[in-house]
Amino acid sequence: MGKLLAIVLVLIAVLSAYPIVSHMFVLPQDISTHGHAIDEQISETMVEAGISFIGAQLVLAFFVWSFSGRKDDRPLKNFPGGARALVIAAFLLVGTEILALGVMGQKAWASVYFTPAKPDDIQVQAQAEQFAFYFRYPGPDGKFGGIHPEKIDEGNQNYFGLDPANDVEARDDIVSGELVVPVDREVHLLMHAKDVGHSFYVRELRIQQDFMPGLDLSVHFTATKLGKYEIVCTQLCGLGHYNMKAYLNVVSQPDFDKWLKDQAGQ
């Protein structure tokens, strides 16, 4: 029975590793300027974690294979070096591992959170609500109209609670259900939650950030590849959570300008 356990352990180690090493599951393409740092971080960690995982399972299997169900009275042996050696090993190996990961990870994290948005970036306000995203562009005047929660009227497409009657800045604001951005231009996303907590997740952008009600956060990113990508909510926000999504549409600068014009026309 012990031998069987050893075999099963080996099988588990091998079969668990297979889908990874055979690239059965690869991250979706990275369309951001910072994403590569995260991807490298993941693959680095994958190597270290993979080695520890397979190593531990194999050692366990080996020991179980050779030391289980022994009827003979060979004397008990102790692990050479005993506890002290193992503790030191753990501290050295894992310690260095941690330092390595920690330091490198810091870089990747910094590239997202510690570098300020460029001055020439495009400001877009994203509002998350049950259960959709809406995006607001300041329009020609470059200013966002104020938000008046009591004015929100979704049946009338007023998702942000704008007050065009009294607020001139709001009149030319462009509201869209999909996030259209020009390629290779930094986008500064101002995040506003209308009701409860939500999250903004674009796999290809390697961006995920919560919407925190009462606390307007922001992220900035630069999309480098044209195309349509899915934006999903990753913070449980109620019954329609699974259906809360939108699309990120990365277009060329001219197309973007044209799109803005069309929207303003409506």
Q: Are 98 and 137 in contact (CB under 8 A)?
A: no
Segment near other proteins (CB under 8 A); pick from 62-70, 118-126, 181-189, 252-260: 62-70
Give the residue carrying structure tokens 């409860």. 196
Cβ(141)–Cβ(107) under 8 Å?
no
Interface with other proteins includes 261 (CB under 8 A)?
no
Angle of helix 2-21 versus helix 35-67 axis, rounded to 10: 160
- For other proteins, the binding residue among 215, 225, 258, 261 (CB under 8 A) is 215
Which among 224, 200, 57 has a CA at the least distance from the CA of 133? 200
Query: By rule CB under 8 A, what string of x and - marks binding of each residue 22-61 to other proteins?
Result: --xxxxx--------xx--xx--xx-xxx-xx--xx-xx-
Among 102, 116, 119, 254, binds other proteins (CB under 8 A): 102
Q: Which of 7, 8, 14, 21 binds other proteins (CB under 8 A)?
A: 8
Which one of residues 10, 117, 196, 226 is an interface residue with other proteins (CB under 8 A)?
196
Q: In terms of CB distance, is 50 or 185 closer to other proteins?
A: 50
In angstroms, give the least distance from the CB of 223 to other proteins.
16
User: In whole angstroms, how close is the CB of 183 to other proteins at the nearest point?
Assistant: 19
Size of the site for other proteins (CB under 8 A): 118
Contacts of 187 (CB under 8 A, 6+ apart): 121, 122, 124, 181, 220, 221, 222, 223
Stretch 133-172 residues interacting with other proteins (CB under 8 A)? 133, 147, 149-150, 152-157, 159, 161, 163-165
- The angle, 0 to 180 degrees and rounded to 10, between the axes of the packed helices 82-113 and 35-67 is 160
Least distance CB 80 / other proteins (angstroms) = 8
Q: Minimum distance between the CB of residue 190 and other proteins, rounded to whole angstroms?
A: 13
Q: Is 266 in the site for other proteins (CB under 8 A)?
A: yes
Name the residue among 112, 13, 111 with its Cα closest to residue 55: 13
- How many CB atoms are closer than 10 A to CB 55? 11
Find, among 212, 186, 185, the residue nearest to 200 by Cα: 212
Q: Which of 124, 181, 223, 237 binds other proteins (CB under 8 A)?
A: 237
C-beta closer to other proteins: residue 50 or 120:
50
Please choose, out of 116-124, 131-139, 182-190, 252-260, the segment that lies near other proteins by the rule CB under 8 A.
131-139
Contacts of 186 (CB under 8 A, 6+ apart): 117, 118, 120, 121, 122, 220, 221, 222
